[in-house]
């Protein structure tokens, strides 16, 4: 059996607390992680919460990367979800580990869309998108 996508769920412990509260750096790191995974970035959105914490998502043609931080605990929860056969969510995870520098991580992979098919026909990545079209269908 094959799957439409791979979803890596990762937890990062004992990270730099200031870094986990910096939306600009986290957005840059997540964009770099998407590129390391060979994913095609469509858009991103990051928000800081009061009194602290950041949530952000990178929308990629292949699906998404998301991060949620708890700086008060030095903890981040991260999702790397990629569809198709040209991107690798584990490469995004490995990159993010190098920049967040957790003392340890826990991760697992969940196959999404496991279907009893011999072959999937993935769509080519959507590289350019018109400004007026907010729905980039890839999946």
* 15: annotated active-site residue: no
Could you tell me the mean pLDDT of each successive run of 10 residues in the chain, 139 residues long?
Answer: 87 97 98 97 97 97 97 98 92 98 97 79 51 43
In contact, 53 and 75? CB cutoff 8 Å? no
Q: Would you give the distance in Å from CA 109 to the centre of its chain?
A: 13
Query: What integer pLDDT is reported at residue 77 of this predicted model?
Result: 98
Catalytic residue among 40, 83, 87, 93: 83
- The answer, as to whether pTM is greater than 0.75, is yes
Per domain, the residue ranges of the chain are 2-109
Query: What integer pLDDT is reported at residue 3 of this predicted model?
Result: 83
In contact, 89 and 6? CB cutoff 8 Å? yes
Catalytic residue among 40, 63, 64, 93: 63
- Reduced to 3 states, what is the DSSP secondary structure of residue 84? coil
Six-digit token string for 80: 């790397």
Helix (H) / strand (E) containing 95: helix 89-100
Query: What integer pLDDT is reported at residue 2 of this predicted model?
Result: 80
* 43: annotated active-site residue: no
* Domain spanning 2-109, CATH architecture: 4-Layer Sandwich (3.60)
* 7: annotated active-site residue: no
Between CA 38 and CA 104 the distance in angstroms is: 25
């Amino acid at each position: 059996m094959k799957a439409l996508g791979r979803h890596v769920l990762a937890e990062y412990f004992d990270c730099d607390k200031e870094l986990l509260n910096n939306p600009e750096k986290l957005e840059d790191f997540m964009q770099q992680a998407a590129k390391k995974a060979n994913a095609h970035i469509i858009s991103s959105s990051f928000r800081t919460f009061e009194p602290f914490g950041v949530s952000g998502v990178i929308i990629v043609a292949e699906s998404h990367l998301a991060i949620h931080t708890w700086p008060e605990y030095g903890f981040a929860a991260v999702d790397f979800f990629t569809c198709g056969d040209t991107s690798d969510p584990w490469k995004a995870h490995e990159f993010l580990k190098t920049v967040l520098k957790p003392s340890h991580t826990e991760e697992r992979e969940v196959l999404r869309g496991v279907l009893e098919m011999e072959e999937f026909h993935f769509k080519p990545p959507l590289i350019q998108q018109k400004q007026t079209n907010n729905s980039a269908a890839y999946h």
